[in-house]
Structure 1
Amino acid sequence: MEKTMHVYRLPRVPRAHRSVPRPSSGPVRHRIRSVLCAAAAALTLVGAGVATGAASPQAQAASETAVSFKAHANNNIITAENAGASALIANRDTVGLWETFDQIDLGNGNIALRAHANNRFVTAENAGASSLIANRDDIGQWETFQLVRNSDGSTSLKAAANGKYVTAEDAGASALIANRTSIGQWEKFDLAPVGDGGAGPLPSSFRWSSSGVLIGPKSDASHDIRAVKDPSVVRYNGKWHVFASTTNSSGGYGMQYLSFTDWSQAGSATPYYLDRSAIGSGYKTAPMVFYFAPQKLWYLTYQTGNNMAYSTNPDIENPSGWSAPRNFYSNGMPRIVAQNIGDGYWVDSWVICDTANCHLFSADDNGHLYRSTSSLAQFPNGFGDGSNTVIAASDPNRYNLFEAENIYKVDGSNTYLLIMEALGPEGRRIFRSFTSPSLTGTWTPLAASNANPFAAPSNVSFGGTAWTVDFSSGEAIRSGYDQNVTISPCRLQFLYQGKDPAAGGDYNHLPWRLGLLTQTNSTC
């Protein structure tokens, strides 16, 4: 088997550890799900009970129902336009992700609404003087609406921000706004449940188009950077925030941070090298970023060579604000990992939470996927010595479950998606995918073979000559940014590392760059 591998990559050496001792623990991962407050007048709510992740203490305690709204003003469905970046407006014919909201019962006839488009709460902006928009992380007065049941069976929404009714302004041609003192046709909406899978199911096979190189190495006086790899990305406050590993001319590892508003600006963004923060210098790599809503803190997790570590920051936009490293595991590598790792390496931890627990996954370059568990209340200190760690999945062919696992909750469903890097034909990097009904369940192959991969040369097209034939360590574009780590099943995108097909040699010196895959066979 090893003889078929390309010289550039010895199969037994992991992507982030070429000259470092086997690491011992795994980082945590989280995503915020925000709540969309009641959209405007006369909407049709389409909803069914859907369990969602934590966005605020209020939201966690309340019951939730996935719904959509249809405006009586023009018989169109309300959408969180532009993936929630623009105001709510009634201009859609069908219900998709942007048209789905979690209705959160606040008691006493009041609700809040969370947009599936971006997992943020709908607000009556500027105390109701501006249009409704899904841009809040917590529920306050502006995000609270009274649900009014009309005699004709329709629904109206009264904003707590100003005591006025939401209207589909200009017969629905303008954005929703809370500015009416009485209920008429424009202030009526039909409310209906959205069932599981309302945003569209995952396909059984995938097709992609790839961008060119979006992010490459940039050096400065103290950082001679040769590669950028292992990206983690979230969309927050109108910007993309990308954390990535770097390697220098000596093969040493570090991390960097970039932010920009549009992918067209990624290549010109100036990196901030995270050794300038309290994270410090030395071997730190494979970052993962998420917002842990219960603590209102951003977490950045990474490998340190002998443990998995994390830093916290109240403001993701302040890269100098990250705290000094702390370890997840009290005694380093859990015993079950040490017993099964063989000549592999312990790498690429990933944390995803449900309503009760946070689950820490990791890989070993030896055909095993591991899972440790902490209660939500005890996170990040609840993993202890890792004694409750189990093997969540395994494959007798170590290259089929190799490293770089990603695990997501699929919006509008009770499905979890596992994406994991494998070594495919000729030792090239590919991704396989699996699904499970729970984070503790069995992982069933979805697109998980050389003939039907999640992402590989066989199902990725380029606008011109392919700049890579490796599809390695990356991350899907999430639909939010908190500890629930959710993705939309519609029009998936995946930020990945690739390299010049002609490049070879020692792994630590390979010229990795970042590109973006966009799904071309979406079912919704």
Structure 2
Amino acid sequence: MLSSLLCVAPATIALPAHAQIRTGQAAAVEASSAEPLSSVPTLAQPTEGNSRFQWSSTAPLILPKPDAAHQLVAVKDPSVVYANGKFHVFMTTAGPQGWGLAYTSFRTWREAQGARLTFLDRSGIGPGYRAAPQVFYFAPQKRWYMIFQGGDPLYSTTSNIDDPLSWSAPKPIFATVPDVVKGDDGRPVWLDFWVICDDSRCHLFNTGDNGRLYRSETSLHDFPRGFGNMQVVLNDTRDRLFEASMTYKVAGAGAYVTMVEAIGPKGRYFRSWTSDRLDGSWTPLADSLADPFAGSGNVDYPGGRWTLDISHGELIRAGNDQSLTIDPCNPLRFLHQGVDPRADASDYLNLPYRLGLLTAARQNPISAMCRTKRDTNPRTNAQR
């Protein structure tokens, strides 16, 4: 998403932190010109042959739906939970007026395109710069939490996920900015905040568009207060460890998996690592351009390729609580953002991002962690 340095007058923001956005898009734009993506072999066909993960993509399922008060051109950064018989999707909106948050819900993915958007500036969250939501049910308090960025990390809560206008006014997670995320000028460089809890502690991960993944922690009892001990847990070059980290518990495997978005020559992609504990060291899983977790080279588009980017999103979880558990015994699904590579990449705020759904198309290093009889149909639940 955007760095906290950009949280001023959203409609007129300059975007220095994303001046390199065209790193993964410019070549594609120049190569494709006005041709449809499907007619450009170098873009339409996967280019990497060593990927252990393989995916199949839908067309865009969640689209921007402006109204009289919201001039948006993009929906981005989805967080999705399944509760009360519905998928609940929270997302960033972007357009000439700046950044905000929206919500939609539906019972099956076939209904997603027709589902209406509710803009969360009408809730207690209010207007202003809000972006990159993450939503989960915090079982110890019997409350839903939304973690998001408004410059610094913020949270809001509700007891009723079905009422998008019930979210509370935002509160800060940190009383002061940790020194480790301050840049050379003393200003904070942190974004895309992600909380996951184990049996005793809650851990907050974040990136900074600077090649670093950070982690801080608090006790399960004190959450959402008391976060501290922030440290760098992964360190690489800027483009190889960029933003939008997500971390999950793998059910029955005694393992966690984390993914971080990177910038490649053919668009955004995700690298991945595993660990046996959230405060442990991270071992590469599928962490290269040739063998990514998900990227332009290992995704098939049966209906026609609509993007080269596998960017900021969320896996569909097996539950909805603070453990953020995924089930390796069923095909992974990944709701993500993508954009037509021919779009004008000079104005990041107005890039026309859409949300599409990936489904794992074969066994992979995460499905290999399944300890029970697995479902052998890779498309099971793809349209649930």
Q: Is the TM value for this pair above 0.5?
A: yes
SS at match of 1:225: coil
> What is the distance in 2 between the residues matched to 1:495 and 1:422?
17
Q: Which residues of structure 1 form unaligned runs of 5+?
A: 1-13, 22-203
Does residue 121 of structure 2 align to residue 294 of structure 1? Answer: no
Does residue 182 of structure 2 align to residue 325 of structure 1? Answer: no
> What is the distance in 2 between the residues matched to 1:464 and 1:419?
27
CA deviations 1:374-413 (Å, max 9, x no partner) are: 0000001111xx3x11111111x11111100000000111
Does residue 2 of structure 2 align to residue 20 of structure 1? Answer: no
> What is the distance in 2 between the residues matched to 1:341 and 1:417?
33
CA contact (8 A) 2:338 2:354 kept: yes
CA contact (8 A) 2:249 2:326 kept: yes
Q: CA RMSD in A?
A: 1.9
> What is the distance in 1 between the residues matched to 2:354 and 2:115?
14
CA contact (8 A) 1:344 1:366 kept: no
TM-score by length of structure 1 reads: 0.59
1:445 counterpart (260, 272, 284)? 284
CA deviations 1:1-22 (Å, max 9, x no partner) are: xxxxxxxxxxxxx54668436x
1:258 counterpart (85, 89, 104)? 104
CA contact (8 A) 1:479 1:486 kept: yes
1:310 counterpart (144, 155, 163)? 155
Distance apart, 1:465 and its partner CA: 2.3
CA deviations 1:399-453 (Å, max 9, x no partner) are: 1111000000001111100011001125x21111110111011111111101001
Q: Which structure would you say has the larger Rg?
A: 1
CA contact (8 A) 2:90 2:102 kept: yes
> What is the distance in 1 between the residues matched to 2:230 and 2:88?
31
CA deviations 1:462-498 (Å, max 9, x no partner) are: 0132000011100000000001011011300000000
> What is the distance in 2 between the residues matched to 1:422 and 1:15?
15
Distance apart, 1:337 and its partner CA: 1.0
Q: 1:211 to 1:342 in 2, by over 3 A?
A: farther
> What is the distance in 2 between the residues matched to 1:501 and 1:423?
14
Amino acid at match of 1:370: Y
Identify which of structures 1 and 2 has the higher relative contact order when contacts are C-alpha pairs closer than 8 Å and 6+ apart.
2
> What is the distance in 2 between the residues matched to 1:20 and 1:319?
24
Q: How does 1:384-403 map to 2 (within 5 A)?
A: 386=228, 388-395=229-236, 397-403=237-243
Q: 1:491 to 1:16 in 2, by over 3 A?
A: farther
Does residue 356 of structure 2 align to residue 515 of structure 1? Answer: yes
Amino acid at match of 1:364: G
User: Partner residue of 1:282?
Assistant: 128
Does residue 221 of structure 2 align to residue 377 of structure 1? Answer: yes
Q: How does 1:486-505 map to 2 (within 5 A)?
A: 486-489=325-328, 490-504=330-344, 505=346
User: Partner residue of 2:45?
Assistant: none
> What is the distance in 2 between the residues matched to 1:468 and 1:228?
14
> What is the distance in 2 between the residues matched to 1:424 and 1:342?
29
> What is the distance in 2 between the residues matched to 1:509 and 1:230?
15
User: Partner residue of 1:166?
Assistant: none
CA deviations 1:282-329 (Å, max 9, x no partner) are: 001111100000000000111011x21111100100111111010000
CA deviations 1:248-292 (Å, max 9, x no partner) are: 224x00000101100111111111100001110000111110000
SS at match of 2:127: coil
SS at match of 1:324: coil
1:220 counterpart (52, 67, 70)? 67
> What is the distance in 1 between the residues matched to 2:357 and 2:2?
19
CA deviations 1:52-93 (Å, max 9, x no partner) are: xxxxxxxxxxxxxxxxxxxxxxxxxxxxxxxxxxxxxxxxxx
Does residue 212 of structure 2 align to residue 368 of structure 1? Answer: yes
Q: How does 1:27-176 map to 2 (within 5 A)?
A: none
SS at match of 1:320: helix
Distance apart, 1:225 and its partner CA: 1.3
> What is the distance in 1 between the residues matched to 2:202 and 2:323?
9
CA contact (8 A) 1:16 1:285 kept: no
> What is the distance in 2 between the residues matched to 1:425 and 1:269?
34
Q: 1:271 to 1:18 in 2, by over 3 A?
A: farther
Amino acid at match of 1:318: D
CA contact (8 A) 2:259 2:272 kept: yes
1:211 counterpart (47, 51, 58)? 58
Distance apart, 1:205 and its partner CA: 1.9
Distance apart, 1:338 and its partner CA: 0.9
Q: How does 1:404-443 map to 2 (within 5 A)?
A: 404-426=244-266, 428-443=267-282
Q: Which residues of structure 2 form unaligned runs of 5+?
A: 9-50, 368-373, 375-384
SS at match of 1:508: helix
CA deviations 1:160-187 (Å, max 9, x no partner) are: xxxxxxxxxxxxxxxxxxxxxxxxxxxx
CA deviations 1:90-109 (Å, max 9, x no partner) are: xxxxxxxxxxxxxxxxxxxx
> What is the distance in 2 between the residues matched to 1:341 and 1:406?
28
Q: 1:507 to 1:364 in 2, by over 3 A?
A: same
Does residue 347 of structure 2 align to residue 506 of structure 1? Answer: yes
User: Partner residue of 1:72?
Assistant: none
Q: Spell out structure 1 runs of 4+ moving beyond 3 A.
A: 14-19, 339-345
SS at match of 1:450: coil
SS at match of 2:73: strand
Q: 1:380 to 1:340 in 2, by over 3 A?
A: farther
CA contact (8 A) 2:59 2:303 kept: no
Distance apart, 1:501 and its partner CA: 1.7
User: Partner residue of 2:180?
Assistant: 336
1:234 counterpart (81, 99, 104)? 81
> What is the distance in 1 between the residues matched to 2:185 and 2:55?
33
> What is the distance in 1 between the residues matched to 2:317 and 2:63?
22
- Say how many residue pairs are matched: 322
TM-score by length of structure 2 reads: 0.81
